[in-house]
């Protein structure tokens, strides 16, 4: 069974949703505390949303120095899949595992709303269960989600098929090129601002988000099956 570590920081949220959704997808998911130095042989790592360390200084700036992040870095360096959701995306940027940064929303307000998203690539461990170009709706909930990067980085992201999700009709934060999620050059580290774990159960009227977690499990060649 695929082992999935969900890292909890002081101030994490939706960590329980991420854990549950990973389990529903067929993974053996468990929590790892930010002070832990051991990911307990995780096959994949999820950094959930929230406001780790109160977002002091900058969102993710302090969390990246948590003891667990050295283990996450080592896991990523070995090609292990890492997914950062919302605050987790901010932490991955601050830690240098993903390029660019997430700045204050252009309208200065915290946005909490569903947004329509296009899956720009199915070539990542977290989107392989989607069709390329698939459209789904998931909530965003953040104050600092405006993705920015240098022109060189933006060009590389677009040319190398590393934009993972893009806002479709509403750009809720002023993100450059409507970017809602990206992958690193090796494609194993992915950061996304929307919260798929919040729309992962039919009882919520939308279970599309579960595909992010099914992608992760399917890739490991474990229970979900599917052709790829």
Partner 1 sequence: MGRFSVEVKVMPRRALLDPQGQAVEHALSALGFPSVSDVRVGKAMTLELERPDRAQAERDARSMCERLLANPVTEDFTVSVKAVE
Query: Contact, 144 vs 104, CB < 8 A?
Result: yes
Q: Environment class of residue 68 by beta-carbon count within 10 Å: exposed (0-12), middle (13-18) or buried (19+)?
A: buried
Position 21 contacts partner 1 (CB under 8 A) = no
Catalytic: which of 86, 93, 142, 144? 86
78: left (phi over 0), alpha (psi -120 to 50) or beta: alpha
Query: Contact, 60 vs 53, CB < 8 A?
Result: no
Task: Give min distance, CB of 188 to partner 1, in A.
Answer: 21
Position 95 contacts partner 1 (CB under 8 A) = no
Which residue is associated with the tokens 């806002």?
167
State which of residues 80, 100, 145, 181 lies at the interface with partner 1 (CB under 8 A): 100
Q: Which residue stretches of the chain are H helix?
A: 15-24, 67-77, 87-94, 151-159, 210-219
State which of residues 10, 114, 143, 174 lies at the interface with partner 1 (CB under 8 A): 174
Q: Does the CA dihedral 116-119-124-126 come out positive or negative?
A: positive
State which of residues 16, 31, 73, 103 lies at the interface with partner 1 (CB under 8 A): 103
Position 152 contacts partner 1 (CB under 8 A) = no
Query: Which tokens hold the place of 33?
Result: 């505390």
Q: Rank residues 38 and 65 by Cβ distance to partner 1 and give the closer one.
A: 65
# chain residues binding partner 1, by CB under 8 A: 20
Catalytic: which of 94, 120, 144, 197? 197
Spell out, one character per residue from 44 to 73, where the chain touches partner 1: x when CB under 8 A holds, - when not: -------------xx--x---x--------
State which of residues 18, 149, 163, 210 lies at the interface with partner 1 (CB under 8 A): 149
């Amino acid at each position: 069974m695929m082992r999935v570590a969900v890292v909890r920081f002081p101030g994490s949220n939706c960590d329980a949703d991420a854990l549950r959704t990973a389990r529903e997808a067929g993974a053996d998911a468990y929590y790892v505390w930010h002070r832990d130095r051991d990911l307990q042989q995780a096959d994949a790592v999820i950094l959930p949303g929230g406001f780790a360390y109160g977002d002091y200084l900058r969102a993710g700036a302090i969390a990246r120095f948590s003891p667990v992040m050295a283990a996450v870095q080592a896991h990523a360096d070995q090609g292990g899949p890492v997914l950062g959701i919302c605050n987790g995306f901010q932490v991955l940027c601050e830690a240098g595992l993903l390029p660019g940064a997430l700045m204050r929303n252009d309208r200065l307000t915290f946005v909490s709303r569903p947004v329509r998203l296009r899956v720009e690539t199915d070539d990542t461990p977290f989107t392989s269960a989607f069709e390329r170009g698939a459209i789904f709706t998931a909530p965003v909930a953040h104050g600092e989600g405006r993705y920015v990067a240098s022109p060189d980085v933006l060009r590389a992201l677009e040319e190398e098929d590393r934009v993972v999700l893009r806002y479709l009709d509403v750009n809720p934060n002023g993100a450059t090129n409507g970017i809602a999620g990206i992958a690193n050059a090796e494609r194993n580290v992915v950061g996304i601002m929307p919260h798929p774990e919040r729309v992962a159960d039919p009882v919520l009227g939308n279970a599309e988000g579960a595909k992010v977690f099914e992608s992760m499990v399917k890739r490991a060649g474990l229970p979900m099956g599917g052709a790829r």
